[in-house]
Structure 1
Amino acid sequence: MIRFSTEEENENLEVKIEGDLDIDSTEIIDEQLLPLLKTYKTVNLNFEQVPFVDSSGMGLLLNIVQSLGEKGTEVTISHVRQEVKDVFELLQIPDILGEGVVI
């Protein structure tokens, strides 16, 4: 089960995600969180409590960064656990998302 909490400061939002970002959770993130993110200038997705991301989760991340970027929102992904970072690097996610997105 995925959960998230938000902390707002001016036009900046930090989203703390907790749980696996997999096929079961992508629908929740897409329907509940994505509409909220569109109203901010900067969004940080804190992955400190995300132990696993599958291919549908990767696709969702790519979609979030791309769709928000088109609206002028800067997205970063921070506090990525080493096991998730290894998968990101294997799939070249930092290169695809661009410099400074995965921090």
Structure 2
Amino acid sequence: MFSYEIEQESERAKVTFEGDLDIDCTETIEDELIPALTGYKSVIIEFGAVEFVDSSGMGLLLNLVQSLKDEGVSVYIRRVREEVMEVFDLLQIPEILGRHTFVG
């Protein structure tokens, strides 16, 4: 099961993801999370508690980051587990989103 928590710091938000990023969290990300984050200047997505991402989850992540960037929000993803980062690298997600998106 997927969940998230938003911590607000004036113009920046930190979002902590927990659980599997898959098709089951489509509504949560598209209907709740994207609208909740569009008013910030920057967003940090904490990925440390995400153990599994499938192809649907990759699409959701790409949509989330691109939607926020289209609104002028800087997005950073950090603490990606090694096994998840291997899948990101295999699918060239860092190249698509920009390597600067992935920090620490």
TM-score (norm: length of structure 1): 0.95
Show the counterpart of 1:31: 31
Secondary structure of 1:100's match?
helix
- Structure 1, gaps ≥5 residues long: none
TM-score (norm: length of structure 2): 0.94
Instruction: Kindly indicate whether residue 68 of structure 2 is the aligned counterpart of residue 68 of structure 1.
Output: yes
Show the counterpart of 1:43: 43
Q: CA deviation at 1:101?
A: 0.6
Question: How many aligned residue pairs are there?
Answer: 103
- Structure 2, gaps ≥5 residues long: none
State how far apart, in whole Å, the 2-side matches of 1:64 and 1:29 are: 7
- The AA in structure 1 aligned to 2:2 is I
Cα RMSD after superposing both structures: 0.9
- Displaced runs of 4 or more, over 4 A: none
State how far apart, in whole Å, the 2-side matches of 1:20 and 1:99 are: 23
- The AA in structure 1 aligned to 2:61 is L
Show the counterpart of 2:5: 5
Q: CA deviation at 1:68?
A: 1.1
